[in-house]
Amino acid sequence: MIDGVWRMGVAMRFFMLTLLHSGICLRRPQLVIREIFTAGVLSLIIIVVSGLFVGMVLGLQGYETLQTYGSEEALGVLVALSLVRELGPVVAALLFASRAGSAITAEIGLMGATEQIAAMEMMAVDPVARVVAPRFWGAVISMPLLAALFSAMGIFGGYLVGVVLIGVDDGSFWSQMQAAVDFRDDILNGVIKSVVFGVAVTVIALFEGYDAPPTAEGVSRATTRTVVTSSLAILALDFVLTAFMFRGV
């Protein structure tokens, strides 16, 4: 228990150090762009495909339930709100943790194990500024974009199943969605969620990698811990954020 709290403290200090050394990302934006490619662009496939399927399942299940009450025109609203408020940020973040988070941990852990971090320090290059900070910003910028893409693909999946396959009315699907989804309450809150998840996942992944013992076992354990810890963190943070954002709605 004490160990856990102590580790959280060290991770927080590491986070602060990362922010403090982020100046390099403004001076050399190409470093961040490279990381947006590794963390964001390379995660596109899994995000797009998962989003599509989650949306299709929502379409099927939603239609089944709504049909009982004769309100299948509200399918668009159901799909869009579920995705934008919850499933988009949460599922995209979970996928992001296992796809990009684990890769970040493994890469930095192995850099440590093969003395690349030590070599960088010996070359008078601060590894927190050169390695950690660009990855942090690259991942944090990618996360909300991926979550938005996930939601968009999900809505498209819901449309495919609901409208194209089952035959829900096209006009009411979109117009009800347009009327019910609020920009500030729903979309903006979803974006805030995905930014918070992005920061949490990335800090955990970077810290675990940087802190990993320089052995094969150490790196593999750190990678596992990244996925487990960030998944739990995402779900816990989601509850807290939802409680604050949608309590009065």
Partner 1 sequence: MHDNLVEIQGLHFAYGRRPVLKGINLTARRGQVVAIMGNSGCGKTTLFRVIGGAVRATQGSVRVDGVDMVGIDQEGLYKLRRRMGMLFQFGALFTDISVFDNVAFQLREHTDLPEDMIRDLVLMKLNAVGLRGAQDLMPSELSGGMARRVALARAIALDPMLILYDEPFAGLDPISLGVTGNLIRRLTDTLGLTSIVVTHDVQESLKMVDYVYFLSEGVVEAEGTPAEIKASGLPFVHQFVHGEEEGPVPFHYPAEPYAATLGLNHA
Establish if 86 lies at the interface with partner 1 (CB under 8 A): no
Q: How far apart are CA 112 and CA 219, in angstroms?
A: 9
Identify which of residues 22 and 116 has a Cβ nearer to partner 1 in the complex.
Answer: 116
Establish if 124 lies at the interface with partner 1 (CB under 8 A): yes
Identify which of residues 110 and 241 has a Cβ nearer to partner 1 in the complex.
Answer: 110
Q: How far apart are CA 76 and CA 226, in angstroms?
A: 35
Establish if 22 lies at the interface with partner 1 (CB under 8 A): no
Establish if 115 lies at the interface with partner 1 (CB under 8 A): yes
Q: How far apart are CA 62 and CA 72, in angstroms?
A: 8
Tokens 């856990």, residue? 4
Q: What is the DSSP string of 139-162?
A: HHHHHHHHHHHHHHHHHHHHHIII
Task: Assign 122 to helix, strand or coil.
Answer: helix
Identify which of residues 125 and 165 has a Cβ nearer to partner 1 in the complex.
Answer: 125
Q: How far is the CB of 116 from partner 1 (least distance, A)?
A: 5
Among 1, 26, 123, 243, binds partner 1 (CB under 8 A): 123
Among 86, 121, 169, 185, binds partner 1 (CB under 8 A): 121
Q: How far is the CB of 118 from partner 1 (least distance, A)?
A: 7
Where b means 16+ CB within 10 Å and e means fewer, 195-217 reads bbbbbbbbbbbbbbbbbbeeeee
Q: Which residues sit at the interface with partner 1, rule CB under 8 A?
A: 107, 110-111, 114-116, 118-119, 121-126, 130
